[in-house]
Structures are given as structure tokens and as C-alpha cells.
Structure 1
Amino acid sequence: MALATQSNFANPDAAYRRIVEAHRGLSDEQSATLDAALVLILANHIGDIGVLDDAIAFAKRRLPDDSQSGVTT
């Protein structure tokens, strides 16, 4: 199975709103816990380690580049 990067939702905005609404009223810690739980649940649902590896790489490419922000480590 190949990683699908186009929306599979008939209404992508509704899917986005559901995720945003699920976080409403949560603390930062609760929100992070919810995100982690969703990732694990959905990764298990997919059940393909290759797709998981591709998804991780795809997501990491979208992280901000700290070298452009002036942040030093």
C-alpha cells in the first residue's frame, strides 16, 4: 500500500473542523495526549509499517527548519 497524500474525505474541511473541535477546551498536555492517541490509533488502523515509515518521513519534511528561524542549539 502506498502513502496517500491527497484528501480522501468528501468534505476535508469537516474533517479538519472535527479535529480542531476535539482539542477545544483541552490543556496543552491533554491536546498533545489526544494527538498521540490519534496517531497510534490511526497507524494501527492502517497496519502497514512501510506506510507508517513514509508518513513519518512526509510529516518530518513539513517541520519548520530551525536553521531559518535563528534558533541555535
Structure 2
Amino acid sequence: MLNTEPNFQSPDDFYQSLIEAHRGLTDEQSTALNARIILLLSNHIGDTAVWEETLRVARQSLQA
């Protein structure tokens, strides 16, 4: 089951590191970095049901 509740020990530090990872990149490089992050984390999770739920929840949030 996908955990959608806040789960970061330090959300500000997480956000800062994400912003820093994108600093100085072109839009194309930033998009490629996001895609790589998604693939790496998806592989780490390794659960197809969680991945499918993630896609559903993310897609629904765009329609809200």
C-alpha cells in the first residue's frame, strides 16, 4: 500500500537537496534527472502494486 502521509524525518532538508540536485541544469537535464530519480526509486521499491497505485494517485491529483 502506498503511504501518502508525511513520512520525511526532515522535509526541509529533503526539499533543499532536491533543489540543489537541479541547480544549474537545463530544463531538459532537469526532466532527465527527474526520470532517473523515478526509475531508481521504483526499482528500489520493486513492488508493482505500489507502483500502479502511485501512478493512479499521481494522475488523480492532476485532475483535482
For normalisation by structure 2, the TM-score amounts to: 0.90
Shift of 1:51: 0.2
Larger of the two Rg values belongs to structure: 1
Which residue number corresponds to residue 18 of structure 1? 17
Q: Which runs of 4+ in 1 moved over 2 A?
A: none
Percentage of matched positions with identical amino acids: 45
Given residue 58 of structure 1, which amino acid in structure 2 is its aligned partner? V
Count of residue pairs the alignment pairs up = 64
Which residue number corresponds to residue 69 of structure 1? none
Which residue number corresponds to residue 43 of structure 2? 44
Unpaired segments of 5 or more residues in structure 1? 66-73
Shift of 1:12: 1.0
- Give the helix-richer structure, 1 or 2: 2
For normalisation by structure 1, the TM-score amounts to: 0.80
User: 1:43-62 counterparts in 2 under 5 A?
Assistant: 43-62=42-61
Unpaired segments of 5 or more residues in structure 2? none
Q: CA RMSD in A?
A: 1.3
